[in-house]
Amino acid sequence: MAFKASDIKIGVAWRLIEVIGAEFFSFCSFLLLTRLLAPEHFGVVALATILILLSQLVLFQGVGEALVQIEDIDESWFSSGFWLNVGLAGLVAFILIVAAPYIAHAFAEPRFAPVLRAIAPLLVIYSLSGILQAKLRRDLKLKGFAYASIFATILGAIVAAVMALMGFEVWSLVCQQWVYALTSTTMFLLHAGWLPQPSVVKDHFKKLASFSFNTVGAALLRFALRQLDLVFIGIYLPSKQVGLYFLATRTLNTVGQLTYYSIQRLGLPVLARLQHDSERQRDAIISTLKLTCLVCLPIFFGMATIADLVIPLAFGVEWTGTITPFRIQSAFCIFYALSLVANQILLSAGYASIVFRLSALNALLFAVAVAFAAPHGIAATAIAGGIANTACLPVYFFMLRRKLGIPLARLALDLLPIWIAALIMVIAVVTTRAYLFPALTPLLSLGVSVLVGIVAFTSVLWLLRRDYVDELTDIVFGSQPDDP
């Protein structure tokens, strides 16, 4: 099937609507449920969900991704992929159900086993969902993604909130996942207009498995960087500590989806088009890294500064234990964001093997660091994970210079004004809160802090690089830069 450029643009637009809309309603649901449930409830479900997400990587990033990328396929490929996915899902679900008591013993959490057994069958539903999503992506029917994800998120949130109010506690979160899976898969099925045939081609099995190897490996590495800290915390610490730490990572992930993940996704097509124009490619890469700092530095440093105001006001006083790890993760988040964007830049330039090795190095350092720190508490885990991610950033930048000729001295000079403005912003907010408005209510103090931060950051940036303020204004008010 041939696609016009307009089809691709429409698909990208619907993809953005899906990500932003689903993430918005998902976080609103999360915000509401933190008021109705205790941290330990989230901790138990978060641990079970990690194992389900790990299993889903094989179903979505493996067979599903292969069906999107393999050229010249027919309906027999999708039917073969479906039965392969169902077989894998059923096997993994059975293993998780049988192993649930033993995993619960490792986490020292007796409530974990029934929760995992209740969630594990979802893998069979997700096995169908993975094939349907692959077909929708291949046909660029991304409108179906947006409708399904947003509607399923809203319906799941309503069911979870009602059940939480009725006193079902942790089971309200379990039912939320079931409602989301059944609703989204049904809508994917309706939009795809496809059902599997009761036949398979054995040769397709082999090719799908072979094609899936690299994509699953890369996905597992990305998963390790996002979830291993929670796993080790679950092994060494009570479920309440897992829930407190999960709140920090969940909140930062939402902000990340709207900032550096968006820069990563939207920048890749532009950078890929410039592979044969090295000078324009270098300028675009520097602009992308500068944009990452310009957007992310004031946001993440600002959140670290006012975390003690935001967390109790947004989630309630029972979540105050989240403040310290949230602050630490926010302060380190810029280094992870730059590494992620640098990773994608190298990928857009065709260095997939280098990206895989760098991701493996990052995942290994992260795993070792959080495994060592987890017994010492969630704050120590946040510090260890942040240091591990930061340690890999120079390696990413070295590869940018070596493979793409990025002048690091010029890059440092371009980024320096943003860092100066962000640090002065932090000093201004801390000083204002300590000496000028110590008696304000938390809500008023939050408003004043945000205002002082915005004024301090933009004023210093205007003095150092006025053109950066113009760029930031364009981003905030939606002006579109010229296509490079």
What is the pLDDT at residue 356?
A: 79
| Short-list 342, 467, 480, CA closest to 417 | 467
SS3 483: coil
Does 239 fall in a domain? Answer: no
Q: Which of 58-62, 288-292, 332-336, 399-403 has the lowest mean pLDDT?
A: 58-62
What is the pLDDT at residue 83?
A: 85
Q: What integer best gives the mean pLDDT of the chain?
A: 83
Residue-number span of the structural domain to which 424 is assigned = 259-484
Does 17 fall in a domain? Answer: yes
Sorting pLDDT into bands at 50, 70 and 90, what band is 3? Answer: very low
What is the pLDDT at residue 480?
A: 44
SS3 24: helix
Residues 8 and 146 in one domain: yes
Sorting pLDDT into bands at 50, 70 and 90, what band is 190? Answer: confident
Does 210 fall in a domain? Answer: yes
Residues 192 and 341 in one domain: no
Q: For the segment 122-161, what is each residue's pLDDT rounded down to a tens digit?
A: 988 988 888 888 777 777 676 777 788 889 999 999 999 9
- Is the pLDDT at 95 greater than 50? The verdict is yes
Q: For the segment 368-405, what is each residue's pLDDT rounded down to a tens digit?
A: 999 999 999 999 999 999 999 999 999 999 999 999 89
What is the pLDDT at residue 154?
A: 93
Q: Which of 214, 231, 248 is where one domain is finished?
A: 231
Q: For the segment 291-309, what is each residue's pLDDT rounded down to a tens digit?
A: 899 989 999 999 999 999 9
What is the pLDDT at residue 6?
A: 47
Q: For the segment 28-39, what is each residue's pLDDT rounded down to a tens digit?
A: 888 889 988 989
d(CA 375, CA 389): 20
Residues 119 and 74 in one domain: yes
What is the pLDDT at residue 5?
A: 43
Residues 319 and 365 in one domain: yes
Does 284 fall in a domain? Answer: yes
Does 366 fall in a domain? Answer: yes
- Is the pLDDT at 346 greater than 70? The verdict is yes
Residues 273 and 404 in one domain: yes
What is the pLDDT at residue 68?
A: 65
Residues 159 and 279 in one domain: no
Q: Which of 231, 251, 277 is where one domain is finished?
A: 231
Instruction: Tell me the percentage of the chain whose pLDDT exceeds 90.
Output: 40
SS3 79: helix
For 145, list phi and psi in degrees, rounded to 5.
-60, -50
Residues 283 and 213 in one domain: no
- Is the pLDDT at 72 greater than 70? The verdict is no
Residue 129: both structure tokens together: 């969902």
What is the pLDDT at residue 16?
A: 62
Does 247 fall in a domain? Answer: no
Higher pLDDT, 26 or 213: 26
Give the DSSP H or E segment for 300.
helix 278-305
Sorting pLDDT into bands at 50, 70 and 90, what band is 440? Answer: confident
Does 151 fall in a domain? Answer: yes
Residues 222 and 263 in one domain: no
Residues 321 and 423 in one domain: yes
448-471 mean pLDDT: 92
What is the pLDDT at residue 369?
A: 94
Residues 195 and 336 in one domain: no
Q: For the segment 236-285, what is each residue's pLDDT rounded down to a tens digit?
A: 999 899 999 999 998 998 888 878 877 766 555 556 555 566 787 788 88
- Is the pLDDT at 360 greater than 50? The verdict is yes
d(CA 114, CA 446): 41
Higher pLDDT, 201 or 172: 172
Residues 216 and 346 in one domain: no
Residues 225 and 296 in one domain: no
What CA–CA distances, in Å, run from 228 to 50, 82, 232, 360, 473? 9, 29, 6, 14, 38
Q: DSSP of 378-440, one letter per residue?
A: HHHHHHHHHHHHHHHHHHHHHHHHHHH---HHHHHHHHHHHHHHHHHHHHHHHHIIIII-TTS
Q: Which of 187, 214, 231 is where one domain is finished?
A: 231
Does 227 fall in a domain? Answer: yes
- Is the pLDDT at 453 greater than 90? The verdict is yes
Number of domains in the chain: 2
Q: DSSP of 162-226, one letter per residue?
A: HHHHTT-THHHHHHHHHHHHHHHHHHHHHHHT----S---HHHHHHHHHHHHHHHHHHHHHHHHH
What CA–CA distances, in Å, run from 187 to 136, 144, 146, 269, 385? 11, 7, 10, 29, 38
